[in-house]
Chain A
């Protein structure tokens, strides 16, 4: 098993019994593959064991047959239509499929390992690079072809060809322009700034039920509501910016970070859209007044203008100026003074601008 062998590269086999010296001349064998006994590196299995293995393989293949038939039967027998029926169908289809596949796999494995010979064949490797003659020939041919084509000699041809390619290369990119409108200033506004059809300020309504909120009814300190703008309850684009959390505080709990002019009777509204990457900051811990975003754990102090206490968010949740309308329902007095949600390049120092505008 050492310095041999040309097999199978040569397609010929030196018939040689293991442990004996190789024959001087290779014997031409018309049927090399079917006579592995003499091939070095092909170690046949014990025929008795192989016969035993065959029975095992047959059993496994039989299981695959039965499971496969069971799969088809399950498809016909088990209908879907309710949760429990779907569960049964899934179990029957999946169970029979897995059994069929695994039994077939096991059968094949036993076949390879216990019936086929063990192999320890050697094949030569050759260096990947082509030899020097070939390289030289290719190089010459390349230069000759380049010469013949005139690409090298005719400068005008070469340059205009490059010129011709440039706009064609850009065309697909240009085509993509209509993928979306330009952002403009849309990220700076939410629907809270738009008055309703009849010109009144927009009411805050409870997410889900759509009920407007009477300030006098939202009176237990520590309460929290998820709030959406009236008229946009189903508009996902609007909700992605305008959703609020509404909190009720005792007056003494509020700290300087919260703009009291924008609250009503201890009721504060913050944007629910996290200033980190925009998940809804939906978790609230009553005792600490912490708002927590479940995505990346940015934590905001709701009693102190929703300033960042921990986590990757860089800015507080913007506060919405709220008040009440003539019927005592909570309304937005104006849009947010700064853009809500995740940061973007054009945002700049919107907080400073807002302060300047206010003063």
Chain B
């Protein structure tokens, strides 16, 4: 093929004549994308979002966001003749009277779960590999906003079908809103158009769910993609990979087709789930009434940690100058979410402040090579995980025959102890893994060959590690540490004179000091100390 076919050349020339698309394509057609399995996690979220937009649009063709009462006359026999809201009736109509309606509803719900799930693991990948570092802090913040908005989007969507389960979630939302000091009652009355449940909330949530939040999400997702494109993707450490280059496959044709395939995989798996794994069978719950509830009511997974926080809390309520402050609702509703989201948003800047690192980073860290960051991350995950687990403590209690209150007490203690243990264990694991790396570089890997030396000693022959593995390990970067040493006259450096400055330099030292420097196998002395237990002969094999 020496010239592009007319069908492509014609429109291309047309476009280039008018908007100069060629210049853009010249720069970008062969844009390089590095490869690593963990880079696919964010794509899951992106593709789920696209599926959400597609299936969501389909659902709006039939859904009626009204709270007016109607008598159900559709095809689902058990509810025939029951009075219910228009919203619930239309959700049933979509499920039973529209071909493919049930499938689209289930795909919509499953992709919502996967959307938030994909974002969460993607965010964890970014965190643990330090990919949020300069120059990507802005994209990190956009990501946090996306995640927060996705939670809100999920909450509003969950409330729309107006079945008994969705109403229970709405009731909890209202109870929490009402507990906010000073403005809570007003917030609730303005949101619900008066007393709970009123007649407005579903149509209001509907416009928020299908227009306002998706619009913002779409804008932020686009910004997220554009920044990623402009700044180029990070890469994992490896041979010839530096902060000054990017190694991988070109956008056209390889990355393009690979991404297309991954979109289809994501869609295919969600379609499988939507077909075979029933989700949110609203017809079993019945219409919402504030007077009833079913035991074992559970929110979608991403709300579980808030639910768990509410369940853990002891019954604290104080009277403040004649006003009620419901700590038992306020603390669990605001503190865990606030801690996690604010902590995540600030982390890149706190880390910069502690390390004094103002350089650009494009090679991702391996989690073990920044043990404190990894330990903080796992600690946070433990905090979240315990709350999440406790969000289902009634199910745990019923299925594993545990005493209900014991599970609550376990959570109350574990929420403090768990993260601390997780921090320590993770830190030790990182150091251990670093030692293993250092050993692989300096000693080589076990070859499985046992050799007998002339003096009768048996040793196992070690061989140098494969080049790509060795390069991957050598990709470890030192973490900068703030200068804290006093000069000749005993005066500490400028930044370290105040109390905060001293704390900062101390933290910097703890955070950045490399406990296991890589030796590359050239320092005989260190060998003797660190690996005294290994037969002396193996070194001869290596050098």
Interface residues of A (CB under 8 A from B): 1-2, 8, 11, 31, 34, 75, 78-83, 86, 89-91, 93-95, 97-98, 101-102, 104-106, 108-109, 111-112, 116, 119-125, 127-128, 176, 179-183, 186-187, 207, 226, 228, 234, 236-237, 239-241, 243, 272-273, 276-280, 282-283, 294-298, 308, 310-315, 341-349
Contacts and interface: CB of A to CB of B under 8 A. Distances in A.
Task: Determine which residue in A124, A283, A311, A315 has the highest number of CB atoms from chain B within 10 A of its CB, and name it.
Answer: A311
Contacts of B528: none
B71 to A, nearest CB: 12
Given A121-B247, A121-B248, A1 B405 contact: no
A122 B246 contact: yes
B6 interface: no
B2 to A, nearest CB: 7
A104 B264 contact: yes
B301 interface: no
Given A105-B264, A315-B317, A90 B295 contact: no
Contact of B326 (A1, A90, A314): A314
Nearest to A121: B32
A122 B293 contact: no
Contacts of B294: 294
Given A112-B258, A116-B254, A234-B69, A282 B175 contact: no
B246 A125 contact: yes
Given A294-B295, A294-B296, A86 B261 contact: no
Contacts of A187: 185, 195
A253 B224 CA distance: 64
Contacts of B97: 80-81
Contact of A101 (B96, B267, B288, B328): B267
Interface string B249-262: 11001100110111
Contact of A207 (B197, B253, B291): B291
A1 to B, nearest CB: 7
Contacts of B404: 297
Contacts of A279: 168, 171-172, 175, 293, 297
A176 B176 CA distance: 21
A74 B289 CA distance: 37
A128 B135 contact: yes
A258 B100 CA distance: 55
Nearest to B256: A112
Given A98-B268, A122-B240, A183-B186, A239 B360 contact: no
Interface residues of B, number: 114
Contacts of B176: 277
Given A240-B171, A240-B291, A294-B293, 14 more contacts: A11-B26, A94-B275, A105-B263, A108-B257, A122-B247, A183-B185, A183-B186, A236-B197, A236-B290, A240-B197, A342-B179, A343-B329, A344-B188, A345-B182
Contacts of A346: 185, 323-324
Interface in B303-320: 307, 310-317, 319
A183 B184 CA distance: 10
Given A79-B99, A342-B178, A345-B181, A297 B261 contact: no
A298 B57 CA distance: 40
A66 to B, nearest CB: 15
Given A75-B99, A101-B268, A183-B186, A95 B275 contact: yes
Contacts of B95: 86
A280 B31 CA distance: 58
B143 to A, nearest CB: 18
Contacts of A120: 247-248
B486 interface: no
B325 to A, nearest CB: 8
A185 B307 CA distance: 29
B23 to A, nearest CB: 12
B13 interface: no
Contacts of B32: 121-123
A278 B254 contact: no
Interface stretch (B75-83, B211-219, B336-344): B75-83
Given A83-B76, A183-B185, A280 B267 contact: no
20 contacts: A2-B240, A83-B75, A102-B264, A105-B261, A121-B249, A122-B240, A123-B246, A123-B247, A124-B246, A179-B193, A180-B200, A276-B310, A278-B175, A297-B393, A312-B310, A312-B311, A313-B315, A342-B329, A343-B179, A348-B323
Nearest to B32: A123
Contact of A119 (B174, B254, B268, B274): B254
Interface in B179-201: 179-186, 188-198, 200
B248 A105 contact: no
Contacts of B262: 105
B268 A239 contact: no
A75 B342 CA distance: 48
B507 interface: no
Task: Determine which residue in A108, A128, A298 has the highest number of CB atoms from chain B within 10 A of its CB, and name it.
Answer: A108
B329 A312 contact: yes
A131 B319 CA distance: 60
Nearest to B307: A296
Contact of A343 (B182, B324, B394): B324
A320 B383 CA distance: 41
Contacts of B193: 179-180
B311 A297 contact: yes
Contacts of B260: 108
Given A83-B76, A109-B261, A280-B290, A237 B179 contact: no
B258 to A, nearest CB: 5
A180 B244 contact: no
B69 to A, nearest CB: 7
Contact of A312 (B258, B290, B314): B314
Contact of B265 (A34, A102, A127): A102
A353 B324 CA distance: 14
B98 interface: yes
A148 B233 CA distance: 41
Nearest to A124: B245
Contacts of B257: 108, 111-112, 116
Contacts of B194: 180-181, 237
Contacts of A31: 2
A83 B185 contact: no
A240 B253 CA distance: 59
Task: Determine which residue in B26, B96, B183 has the highest number of CB atoms from chain A within 10 A of its CB, and name it.
Answer: B96
Contact of A277 (B175, B254, B322): B175
A343 B190 CA distance: 17
Contacts of B69: 234
A280 B293 contact: yes
Nearest to B101: A80
A122 B313 contact: no
B245 A101 contact: no
